[in-house]
Amino acid sequence: MTDSQVLNLKVEFGGGLELLFDKKRSHRVALPSPPSSPPDAAKKTPADINFLIHWLKDNLLRERAELFIENGTVRPGILVLVNDTDWELEGEGEYVLQEGDEIVFISTLHGG
Amino acid sequence: MPSKTCALCHSARPILKRPKTGQQICKDCFFKVFETEVHNTITEANLFRTGDRVAIGASGGKDSTVLAYVMKTLNERYGYGLELFLLSIDEGITGYRDDSLETVKRNQEQYDMPLKILSYDELYGWTMDRIVSTIGRKNNCTFCGVFRRQALDRGASALNVDHIVTGHNADDIAETVLMNIMRGDIARLGRCTAICTQGEDTIRRSKPFKYAYEKEIVMYAYFKKLDYFSTECIYSPDAYRGHARAFLKDLEAARPSAIIDIIHSGEAFEVKQEVKATQKLQQTCKRCGYMSSNELCKACTLLEGLERGLSHAVITDRARQKLDAEEPPSQAMRTIPYFNLPRAPGVTS
């Protein structure tokens, strides 16, 4: 019954990643619920950061996907923050998103 | 699972997992340990003396922006007694360096430090835009690297500073160790982990961020809301370094200590005297007075190639000598102004 539910998120890109996303640093995202996994359709797949990463690649990314995503997650060297906390403290890609969350992606790969 | 409280102060909520130690720490403790570790790096290596004039090599990017901020903070907090300057090199790359220099100009205001910008155009008579339009995109990074190194020294000399600090971080140094191993460049491998380099006739250069992880530098800039510029150079990046970097980031993802471990490996290599002896002796460039391991320094050789329209042929020393035998360089050719080292520290002129 809650299949059509969306999560409203604020997504930010920095460190040069914004160049891949329409050169905009800050985006408002209405993230749809992920499709249920076939073997157990009754069980809902949680909308986690891994799902967000794929959704961003399919919906917001404008160019050079290989600079953002690698082996199903962000490319090594991209930092992720969940509500201003290192995602490594929040379960990384398995963090289940909540309404109003702020997710920041920062590339460290650009020259200093 | 995240700890409830910071591993250092045991009270605030942690916001960062340190790659070096795995500790989960809060924002205030992060600022404190990051700054204190840089301070310890500086004091353990005895980098500065009271009254030193120090130029921060500033590109407007994350590392040098954080370095300028941290140097200013530590200089005030611990009373280093340094006079700090920002030194930027304008390679003449439209849409890249012109934008990043705007960031440096804002940093000048924000950090209240004098800024000197020296351009390739002013020093060599060529911008990178013109070099690339002449020689194409094959060797342009060679030109840019050789020209930048000398330009930094000349900018420092114009500022009359004793010391240049650069934003090279632990990741950069680990990358360089890997590259030197993969290229078999044993002489450079022996030198590349040194925190401070100084020949007899060069300006001291050091890397206060030698042990600072890139992740922490970027997090520091993020949490301090520092103003930095991040765009890839428009003239194809150094491909070899790019591979080394991607490899290193994969290693770091599997084991975060990999970066510091590689630096330690680099430091532990002992280069045999016989190998050191094969390195050429330093001399002075007969044309511009800059240090050189040949009659002409690399920048003069490259510039001559550009001026004579033979930039491909002139890249090796042997090719240049062959060319000189055929046709000596014209008197009207653009050369680099003569290099004078600033006064020795403590010596009044």
- In a domain? residue B103: yes
pLDDT tens digits for range B188-204: 887 888 888 876 667 89
Helix (H) / strand (E) element for A71: namely none
Whether the pLDDT of residue B9 is over 80: the answer is: yes
Residue B211: is its pLDDT beyond 90? yes
Mean model confidence pLDDT for chain A: 87
Please tell me whether residues B197 and B300 are part of one structural domain. no
Query: In this complex, is the C-beta atom of A96 within 8 Å of any C-beta atom belonging to chain B?
Result: no
Lowest mean per-residue pLDDT among B104-108, B122-126, B286-290, B308-312 = B308-312
pLDDT score for B67: 97
B348 lies in a domain?
no
Sign of CA dihedral B285, B139, B241, B317: negative
Contact B185, B143 (CB under 8 A): no
In this predicted structure, what is the pLDDT of residue B253? 86
Q: Cβ of A16 and B215 within 8 Å?
A: no
Give me the pLDDT at residue B278, please. Answer: 60
Please check whether residues B293 and B231 belong to one and the same domain. no
Query: Which candidate in A18, A78, A89 is best for mutational testing of the B interface (most B CBs within 10 A)?
Result: A89
pLDDT per position as a tens digit, B149-163: 999 999 999 999 989
Q: What domain range is B210 assigned to?
A: 27-279
Asked if A84 is an interface residue toward chain B (Cβ–Cβ < 8 A), one would say yes
A45 contact B CB<8A: no
B93 in the same domain as B134 = yes
What does the H/E/C string look like for chain B? CCCCCCCCCCCCCCCEECCCCCCEECHHHHHHHHHHHHHHHHHHCCCCCCCCEEEEECCCCHHHHHHHHHHHHHHHHHCCCCEEEEEEEECCCCCCHHHHHHHHHHHHHHHCCCEEEEEHHHHHCCCHHHHHHHHCCCCHHHHHHHHHHHHHHHHHHHHCCCEEECCCCHHHHHHHHHHHHHHCCHHHHHHCCCCEECCCCCCEEECCCCCCCHHHHHHHHHHCCCCCCCCCCCCCCCHHHHHHHHHHHHHHHHCCCHHHHHHHHHHHCCCCHHHHHCCCCCEECCCCCCEECCCCCHHHHHHHHHHCCCCCHHHCHHHHHHHHHHCCCCCCCCCCCCCCCCCCCCCCC
Contact at CB, B62 and A15, closer than 8 angstroms: yes
Write out chain B residues lying below 8 Å of A76, CB-based: 246, 249-250, 252-253
Q: Which amino acid is at B240?
A: Y
Query: Mean pLDDT over residues B159-186, rounded?
Result: 92
Domain edge (last residue) among B242, B262, B279: B279
Q: Provide the residue type at A27 as one letter.
A: H
pLDDT over threshold 50, residue B348: no
Q: Which residues of B touch A (CB under 8 A)?
A: 1-2, 13-17, 24, 59, 61-64, 167, 169, 171-172, 214-215, 217-219, 222-223, 230-233, 245-246, 249-250, 252-253
Q: Which of B16, B231, B253 sits opposite A110 (nearest CB)?
A: B231
Q: pLDDT tens digits, residue range A88-107?
A: 999 999 999 999 999 999 99
Out of B279, B295, B318, pick the residue that ends a domain.
B279
Please tell me whether residues B64 and B79 are part of one structural domain: yes
Architecture of the CATH domain A6-107:
Roll (3.10)
pLDDT of residue B166 exceeding 90: yes
Q: How many domains does chain B have?
A: 2
Q: Do A85 and B14 touch (CB under 8 A)?
A: yes
User: Across the interface, do B218 and A106 touch by the CB < 8 Å criterion?
Assistant: yes
Which domain-ending residue is among B251, B279, B307? B279
Domain match, B192 and B287 both:
no
CATH number of the domain within which B191 lies: 3.40.50.620
Closest chain B residue to the Cα of A15, Cα to Cα: B230
ipTM of the modeled complex: 0.90
Tell me: do B238 and B308 sit in the same domain: no
Tokens 């924002």 — which residue? Answer: B27
Structure tokens at B87: 């030194």
Shortest CA gap A21–chain B (Å): 14
Q: What is the pLDDT confidence band of residue B96, given thresholds at 50, 70 and 90? A: confident
What percentage of chain B exceeds 90 in pLDDT? 55
Contact between chains at A76 and B17 (C-beta distance less than 8 A): no
Instruction: Tell me the mean pLDDT in the region B26-31.
Output: 97
Nearest CB to B250 within list A76, A84, A88: A76
Lowest mean pLDDT of A44-58, B154-168, B198-212, B313-327, name the range. B313-327
